[in-house]
């Protein structure tokens, strides 16, 4: 039995309770019942629901609870194995698509949402509900981009170390629905575009790659794109289609954020402070650099800091291009993990043998990388528990195989789909 079981249970209870406040259904329901929304809404309107993302089913449920009497149709696109079949809404169509790498399912879903939006009656109020994961779940590429191109580009992007805004900026260049272009198919509609933010800037143009929000092209800094990717992007610069020549911001679209990472961090801090009157420090600088850099910062903060809670939010990056680059290394599987488990294992290495620290690194959507784990909760004895079972931490870090180590050390956290997606959270707890 873990000697710090009480502290581990405490930090998990705080996280779980705080996460409930940013669940998709709760946030959407709160917005739709607000005076802010009622300014844009008439009781005589008919409503259609389009929900896309890992939290789409939860968000759609929140909308249904408020507007069910006037909803004429609904379409929900979510990640495979994220659909709760016991909570389906009668009359809604549900699609499970591919994430984090798109597939033919993503293209089929992209065509489906175009047809759905285009086919709605002109007097419809379309409620769009977007959460993280939408960029991969739905796509309709430009004619020059094949499915193989799409897969190769996304496979490279998620291993590149680029931030989500840079990644989504590249994705937008391949698409005829991203960067506000889906709005062209809804120009006959009134649209409320409600977003759960999974990007640091909370810029709506990059949440789900901005299906209903025009974006400003960014330059890709500090990294050289491979020649094949430059060629794919160059092929997309052909004369624009009628859809891509539109100006989405002139359409009748009201875009609002219904929850952000900051909302969650404040809720966590409030619960920490009310828990035995403990100090709680929200670290203002978000997690956005490479996981190795962020692990150094986290460890330095908690090692030198006073007792209490330390809370970070954001989305660090992982550059797997420097790894082994193969599916296996010395008969050990690689790339079995995600940024949260990789970050947790790095932190565990830096707090080795310290008996008064625990650190939770977790993805708010309930999935981390290629695993079903949400993240990990590590302590000063994580490494020794792995060592006892014959595991080499350096090998697992080098091969991005953090999940295997943390599974054996007893530190993985599995929440299942959470119904939200507001980036990642790190909570450290230090006691006397």
pLDDT at 168: 93
pTM: 0.92
Which residues touch 421 (CB under 8 Å, ≥6 apart)?
Answer: 53, 54, 55, 131, 132, 133, 196, 198, 364, 365
d(CA 117, CA 186): 6
Q: Which of 336, 298, 300 is nearest to 316 (CA)?
A: 298
Cβ neighbours, 10 Å, residue 234: 11
pLDDT at 331: 42
Q: Please state the rounded mean pLDDT for residues 131-150.
A: 97
**For 151-170, what is each residue's pLDDT tens digit?**
999 999 998 888 888 999 99
pLDDT at 330: 43
Indicate the average pLDDT of the chain. 92
Residue 249's pLDDT band, with cuts at 50, 70 and 90, is: low
pLDDT at 220: 63
Q: Please state the rounded mean pLDDT for residues 364-392.
A: 96
pLDDT at 247: 56
Q: Please state the rounded mean pLDDT for residues 288-296.
A: 97
d(CA 166, CA 135): 13
Residue 277's pLDDT band, with cuts at 50, 70 and 90, is: confident
pLDDT at 326: 37
**For 73-90, what is each residue's pLDDT tens digit?**
999 999 999 999 999 999
pLDDT at 239: 62
Helix (H, G, I), strand (E, B) or coil at 378: strand
102 within 8 A of 151, measured Cβ to Cβ:
yes
pLDDT at 42: 87
pLDDT at 251: 84
Residue 243's pLDDT band, with cuts at 50, 70 and 90, is: very low
Query: Helix 291-304 crosses helix 339-350 at what angle (to 10 degrees)?
Result: 40
22 within 8 A of 425, measured Cβ to Cβ:
no
pLDDT at 324: 44
pLDDT at 275: 74
pLDDT at 264: 98
pLDDT at 215: 81
**For 176-204, what is each residue's pLDDT tens digit?**
999 999 999 999 999 999 999 999 999 99
Residue 233 confidence (pLDDT) above 70? yes
| Sheet with 412-413, side-by-side order of all strands | 280-282, 308-314, 424-430, 357-363, 375-379, 412-413
309 within 8 A of 272, measured Cβ to Cβ:
yes
**For 92-133, what is each residue's pLDDT tens digit?**
999 999 999 999 999 999 999 999 999 999 999 999 999 999
**For 6-36, what is each residue's pLDDT tens digit?**
999 999 999 999 999 999 999 999 999 999 9
**For 311-349, what is each residue's pLDDT tens digit?**
999 999 998 876 543 344 344 445 588 999 999 999 999
Query: Which domains are delineated in the chain?
Result: 5-18+261-430 (3.40.1480.10), 33-259 (3.40.50.10180)
8 within 8 A of 377, measured Cβ to Cβ:
yes
Range from 243-257, 347-361, 392-406 carrying the lowest mean pLDDT: 243-257
């Amino acid at each position: 039995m873990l000697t710090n079981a009480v502290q581990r249970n405490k930090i998990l209870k705080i996280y779980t309770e705080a996460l409930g406040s940013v669940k998709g259904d709760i946030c959407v329901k709160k917005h739709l019942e607000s005076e802010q929304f009622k300014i844009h809404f008439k009781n005589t309107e008919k409503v259609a629901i389009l929900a896309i993302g890992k939290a789409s089913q939860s968000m759609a449920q929140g909308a249904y609870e408020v507007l069910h009497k006037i909803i004429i149709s609904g379409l929900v696109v979510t990640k495979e194995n994220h659909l709760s079949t016991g909570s389906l809404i009668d009359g809604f169509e549900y699609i499970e698509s591919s994430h984090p790498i798109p597939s033919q399912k993503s293209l089929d879903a992209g065509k489906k949402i175009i047809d759905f939006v285009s086919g709605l009656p002109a007097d419809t109020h379309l409620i769009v509900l977007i959460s993280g994961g939408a960029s991969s779940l739905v796509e309709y590429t430009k004619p020059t981009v094949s499915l193989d191109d799409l897969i190769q580009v996304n496979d490279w992007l998620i291993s590149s170390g680029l931030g989500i805004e840079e990644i989504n900026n590249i994705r937008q260049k391949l698409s005829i629905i991203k960067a506000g272009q889906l709005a062209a198919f809804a120009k006959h509609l009134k649209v409320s575009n409600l977003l759960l933010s999974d990007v640091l800037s909370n810029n709506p143009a990059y949440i789900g790659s901005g299906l209903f929000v025009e974006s400003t092209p960014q330059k890709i800094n500090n990294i050289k794109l491979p020649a094949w990717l430059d060629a794919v992007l160059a092929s997309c610069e052909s004369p624009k289609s009628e859809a891509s020549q539109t100006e989405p911001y002139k359409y009748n679209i009201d875009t609002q954020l219904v929850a952000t990472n900051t909302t969650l961090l404040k809720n966590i801090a409030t619960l920490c402070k009310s828990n035995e009157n403990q100090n709680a420090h929200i670290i203002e600088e978000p997690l956005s650099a490479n996981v190795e850099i962020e692990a150094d910062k986290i460890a330095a903060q908690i090692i030198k800091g006073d007792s209490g809670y330390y809370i970070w939010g954001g989305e660090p990056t992982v550059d797997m291009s420097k790894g082994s680059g193969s599916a296996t290394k010395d008969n050990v599987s690689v790339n079995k993990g995600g940024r949260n488990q990789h970050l947790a294992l790095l932190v565990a290495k830096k707090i080795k043998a310290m008996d008064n620290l625990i650190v939770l690194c977790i993805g708010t959507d309930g999935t981390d990388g290629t695993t079903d784990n949400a993240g990990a909760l590590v302590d000063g004895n994580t490494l020794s528990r792995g060592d006892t079972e014959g595991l080499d931490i350096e090998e697992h870090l080098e091969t991005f195989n953090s999940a295997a180590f943390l599974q054996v050390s007893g530190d993985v956290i599995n929440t299942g789909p959470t119904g939200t997606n507001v980036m990642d959270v790190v909570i450290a707890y230090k006691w006397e």
